[in-house]
Amino acid sequence: MIMKQLWSFIRKEFHHIFRDRTTVMILLLMPVIQIILFGFALSTEVKDTKVVVLANTNDNATRRIIDRIDASEYFDVSIMADNSDDIDAAFRDGKAKLAMVFEDHFAENLKHTGTAHVQLIADATDPNAATSFMFYASNIITGYQQEISQSGGGTIAPEVKMLYNPQMKSAFNFVPGVLGMIMILICAMMTSIAIVREKEMGTMEILLVSPMKPIYTILSKIAPYFVLSVINFVTIMLLSVFVLKVPIEGSFMSLFAVSLLYIFVALSLGLLISTITSSQLAAMMISGMGLMIPVMLLSGMIFPVENMPTFLRFISNFVPARWYIDAVKTIMIKGLSITAVWKDVGVLVLMGVVLVTISLKKFKVRLE
């Protein structure tokens, strides 16, 4: 009897959501587009950085250095400046990011006095990009110098190895991040809005006076979002393996188990928000500002948590996505077993239990 009742309620909720074509479309397409865009489009590699050159003496050495810079994949010599004002202008209208200034009589000085000066000026508005291309440019010039001078002496050459992600694809970082974000979006944000909507519309009263137990009302509310989350999890996994070529190094089952746990935590968060708010707008703002922003910022999805000040690191401990994303990275990308993420799992279980208890306690069965 109860099962039949519950079933019909769940069916009602499914109709609610799936008849809203736009929302369903967006919910199913959003992860696809996000994964593809973030996976392919976001990168910090230095590529074709525009260079402005100021060389008053057109000699052999300057030309060869300029050619080398231009030939490298990192740079693209685009402007030959006549004076330092040109450099300034090129920086200001964004036509160049790096300036190379050769001293007068560069080759002559190099030949006769043994030293010559070249100045590298970087547009450091983006500090990391500036550091990188400064490094590459210095390396190219040093390479040229070593070639023309047989100074003897060996060199210490660093041999670089990028662990787990040899091509430094941003996808490796974004797949776990998008997973963590989408689940919060669907489970917490959607669920809370759906429940509060019934409150706002007044239909919550009807549900509460029906012979259904409140717990079943809640269960039927969250069922469709649960299903949607699982569908999204599967899509994201398929995309990341087949399109982004981010392999699942660890066991798929443990990954799935951790994800189910996270969905549970996210759903209980949504439930909690719905019990403490009374308008859709408020529910939206709380889940938007209070959940989405911390997820994007403090979860390690984009910015490494370790570099943040202590205060923010402390707060990040309360962001469920942080633990989930860490667990996904460990299992999926580093390929370790589920025992390596016991701490993440423990924290998530604890969060889930606390959230469900509070929200069930606060769920009002009485009419006001």
Q: Which of residues 220-259 bind another protein (CB under 8 A)?
A: none
User: Could you tell me the smallest distance in angstroms from the CB atom of residue 365 to another protein?
Assistant: 25
Return the number of the residue (213 or 245) whose C-beta is nearest another protein.
245
The closest alpha carbon to 100, from 145, 70, 129, belongs to 70
CA angle 193, 212, 271 (to 5 degrees): 25
Q: Which of 84, 125, 203, 210 binds another protein (CB under 8 A)?
A: 125
The count of C-alpha atoms lying within 13 angstroms of the C-alpha of 259, restricted to the half-sphere facing its C-beta, is: 30
Beta bridge partners of 100: 53, 120
Residues that bind another protein (rule: CB under 8 A) add up to a total of: 109
Q: Which of 68, 111, 251, 257 binds another protein (CB under 8 A)?
A: 111
User: Could you tell me the smallest distance in angstroms from the CB atom of residue 161 to another protein?
Assistant: 4
Rounded to whole angstroms, the Cα distance separating 134 from 98 reads 8
Residue 277: other Cβ atoms inside 10 A: 21
User: Could you tell me the smallest distance in angstroms from the CB atom of residue 313 to another protein?
Assistant: 9
Return the number of the residue (83 or 150) whose C-beta is nearest another protein.
150
Q: Is 138 in the site for another protein (CB under 8 A)?
A: yes
Q: How far apart are the first and last CA of the chain?
A: 30
Rounded to whole angstroms, the Cα distance separating 308 from 314 reads 10
Residue 113: other Cβ atoms inside 10 A: 9
The closest alpha carbon to 247, from 341, 181, 172, belongs to 172
Return the number of the residue (23 or 210) whose C-beta is nearest another protein.
23
Q: Rule CB under 8 A: which of 300-339 touch another protein?
A: 300, 302-304, 306-309, 312, 329, 333-334, 336
User: Could you tell me the smallest distance in angstroms from the CB atom of residue 282 to another protein?
Assistant: 6
Q: Which of 11, 15, 47, 364 binds another protein (CB under 8 A)?
A: 47
Q: Rule CB under 8 A: which of 159-178 touch another protein?
A: 159-170, 172-173
Q: Helix (H, G, I), strand (E, B), or coil: what is residue 50? A: strand
Return the number of the residue (254 or 352) whose C-beta is nearest another protein.
254
User: Could you tell me the smallest distance in angstroms from the CB atom of residue 133 to another protein?
Assistant: 10
Q: Helix (H, G, I), strand (E, B), or coil: what is residue 198? A: helix
Contact letters for another protein, residues 275-304 (x by CB under 8 A) = -----xxx-xx--xx---x---xx-x-xxx
Return the number of the residue (294 or 352) whose C-beta is nearest another protein.
294
User: Could you tell me the smallest distance in angstroms from the CB atom of residue 3 to another protein?
Assistant: 29
Return the number of the residue (81 or 298) whose C-beta is nearest another protein.
298
Q: Fill in the DSSP letter of residue 305.
A: G
Q: How far is CA 252 from the centre of its chain?
A: 22
Rounded to whole angstroms, the Cα distance separating 117 from 140 reads 15
Q: Is the Cβ–Cβ distance between 183 and 229 less than 8 Å? A: yes
User: Could you tell me the smallest distance in angstroms from the CB atom of residue 92 to another protein?
Assistant: 4
Beta bridge partners of 76: 50
Q: Which of 141, 230, 276, 358 binds another protein (CB under 8 A)?
A: 141
Q: Which of 58, 131, 203, 317 binds another protein (CB under 8 A)?
A: 131
Residue 368: other Cβ atoms inside 10 A: 5
Q: Rule CB under 8 A: which of 5-44 touch another protein?
A: 20, 22-23, 26-27, 30, 33-34, 37-38, 40-44
